[in-house]
Amino acid sequence: MTRGDPGPALVVCSGGLDSVTLAHRLSAEPGGVAALVTFDYGQRHRKEVDFAARCAKRLGVAHEVVDLTDVGRRIAGSALTDRTQVPDGHYSSRTMAVTVVPNRNPLMLSAAFALAGGQGLGRVAAAMHTGDHVIYPDCRPAFVDAFQAMEDTALDGVVAIRLETPFIHWSKTDIAAEAGRLGVPVAETWSCYKGEAVHCGRCGTCVERLEALHDAGVVDPTVYADRDFWRGEVARWKAGS
Amino acid sequence: MTRGDPGPALVVCSGGLDSVTLAHRLSAEPGGVAALVTFDYGQRHRKEVDFAARCAKRLGVAHEVVDLTDVGRRIAGSALTDRTQVPDGHYSSRTMAVTVVPNRNPLMLSAAFALAGGQGLGRVAAAMHTGDHVIYPDCRPAFVDAFQAMEDTALDGVVAIRLETPFIHWSKTDIAAEAGRLGVPVAETWSCYKGEAVHCGRCGTCVERLEALHDAGVVDPTVYADRDFWRGEVARWKAGS
């Protein structure tokens, strides 16, 4: 590291469109990326992990998959970790509340900070954006600020690590546009919460992904089981029903 | 829960004197204890876990042992998790700095909050005290306050969970006296960082434990490999050498 060089970042990467785009973006900036870290908390859309691995390979950086399944299996009540059915529909809808995993980001980011501290890295990056804010309190700016303040006390005199969330005030469409600008291979990212053979096209994140890539004008070669459901869903949601 | 009843707590319990005393204290107070949770992060003094299990059995509450070893093994550089030798000597000495596990409490408390959230519990309790403050920043009052503030944002609108640290302004001797008052079987707690057949009597936590129980006038039937080392060590430390 030279003066002014922030040093490489540890990027929390699920293999989804947002965090893969974040990894591509940071790898092209000063400091670069040291590694991607993916947390396995028993989420049913676990095949994301393969897409995070492919991203690390493309960028020529390390990939760490951290097993948090023993915590995950004890957290009942979220459709992402138990057998509750993942609902179809718009991501902003109230139906998506069943996908809240209580305290997911405090846990994952605390683990990421522990890893970064152990590896001498001064930056942890995560891809929260405005589309997450409505449903997930631990994706909001207030959480990001409070998390940094907490870590500043926890690591006082040990190490200094900065949480970077460059997309925190971006919409999903902004991220999709950035993916297009950076040439991110969007079909090499996984968003679907259902984790079946191909993207379902009907769950909240599929609808959000299809809408964002469309609105950003990005060509999307991803295969979806239902490629057109999102249009009606978005129309219904905008009409307020 | 009736009005004014805080509901039962999830107690973070390592099996050491402090957290076992905390569990006994809270189980005798309104609200009581729902469960003890012990985190296995690959610490070499893993036999603590058995002592936490015995405490849960005594109190008639559940005991959860959560596997965080995959995170722990990636955090190099602490004598508690790797092969660095655990130093002998006074707990407050600089030599104990090698026992710092970066971000240990953010990680463990985030996992505890996730568990509490999943189980509908509104209280998480932990046993940090003033003796921890010098070496471990994530045991200090500033950390506790910042952690609560962080969780208040992370769980906003989902659940409300309070972090309780009734010993945060207590000395180790205060805790030892409380253990005596409550009739905690102190030989049924494990403090030694070395994790051998019996307490070594020479490492930082053994010295601190022996001094505190002595100063509090609590009878200590614990077997130590070296029962008298602490006296000279404390005398040397008080003399400023």
HEC profile of A83-127: CCCCCECCCCCHHHHHHCCCCHHHHHHHHHHHHHHHHCCCEEECC
Q: Does the pLDDT of residue B147 top 50, yes or no? A: yes
Residue A1 lies in a domain: no
Q: Does the pLDDT of residue A59 top 80, yes or no? A: yes
CB A75 within 8 A of CB A81: yes
Split at pLDDT 50, 70, 90, the class of B92 is low
- A115–B152 CB contact, under 8 Å: no
Res A238: pLDDT: 84
Residue A166 lies in a domain: yes
Query: How many CB atoms are closer than 10 A to CB A240?
Result: 5
Average pLDDT over residues A113-127: 95
Residue A3 lies in a domain: no
Provide residues of B within 8 Å CB-CB of chain A: 64, 66-68, 70-71, 74-77, 100-107, 110-111, 113-115, 117-119, 137-138, 140, 142-143, 146-147, 149-159
Split at pLDDT 50, 70, 90, the class of A1 is very low
- A138–B155 CB contact, under 8 Å: yes
Residue A179 lies in a domain: yes
Average pLDDT over residues A54-62: 98
> Could you give the CA distance from residue A216 to residue B62 in angstroms, rounded to a whole number?
52
- B118–A143 CB contact, under 8 Å: no
Q: Does the pLDDT of residue A192 top 60, yes or no? A: yes
pLDDT tens by residue, A17-42:
999 999 999 999 999 999 999 999 87
Split at pLDDT 50, 70, 90, the class of B1 is very low
Indicate which of A110, A145, A159, A162 best probes the interface with B, i.e. most B CBs within 10 Å of its own CB. A110
Q: How far is B128 from chain A (nearest CA, A)?
A: 13
Mean of all residue pLDDT scores within chain B: 88
Average pLDDT over residues A142-150: 98
Residue A112 lies in a domain: yes
Range list of H helices, chain B: 17-27, 48-59, 69-72, 104-119, 130-133, 141-154, 172-182, 204-215, 229-238
As for the ipTM of the complex, it is 0.89
> Could you give the CA distance from residue A198 to residue A184 in angstroms, rounded to a whole number?
19
pTM confidence score = 0.90
Res A138: pLDDT: 92
Q: Which of B76, B140, B154 sits opposite A143 (nearest CB)?
A: B154
Evaluated on CA atoms B94, B99, B102, B105, the torsion sign reads negative
Q: Which of B102, B118, B147 sits opposite A117 (nearest CB)?
A: B102
> Residue B74: its chain A contacts at CB < 8 A?
64, 66, 114-115, 118-119
Q: Which residues of A are annotated as a binding site for ATP?
A: 13-23
- B71–A71 CB contact, under 8 Å: no
Split at pLDDT 50, 70, 90, the class of B167 is very high
Split at pLDDT 50, 70, 90, the class of A111 is very high
C-alpha Rg value of chain A to the nearest Å? 17
Res A100: pLDDT: 61
Residue B4 lies in a domain: no
> Could you give the CA distance from residue B177 to residue A219 in angstroms, rounded to a whole number?
69
Nearest 10 degrees: CA dihedral of A51, A55, A61, A62? 0
Res B132: pLDDT: 77
pLDDT tens by residue, B14-53:
999 999 999 999 999 999 999 999 999 877 556 789 999 9
Q: Does the pLDDT of residue A48 top 90, yes or no? A: no
Residue A29 lies in a domain: yes
Split at pLDDT 50, 70, 90, the class of B133 is confident
Percent of chain B with pLDDT over 90: 67
- A102–B118 CB contact, under 8 Å: yes
Give how many domains chain B has, as a whole number: 1
Please give the residue that has the higher pLDDT: either B24 or B204.
B24
- A115–B74 CB contact, under 8 Å: yes
Range of the domain at A230: 9-238
CATH of the domain at A115: 3.40.50.620
pLDDT tens by residue, B100-109:
678 999 999 9
Instruction: Return the number of CB contacts < 8 Å for A and B.
Output: 154
- B146–A156 CB contact, under 8 Å: no
Residue A178 lies in a domain: yes
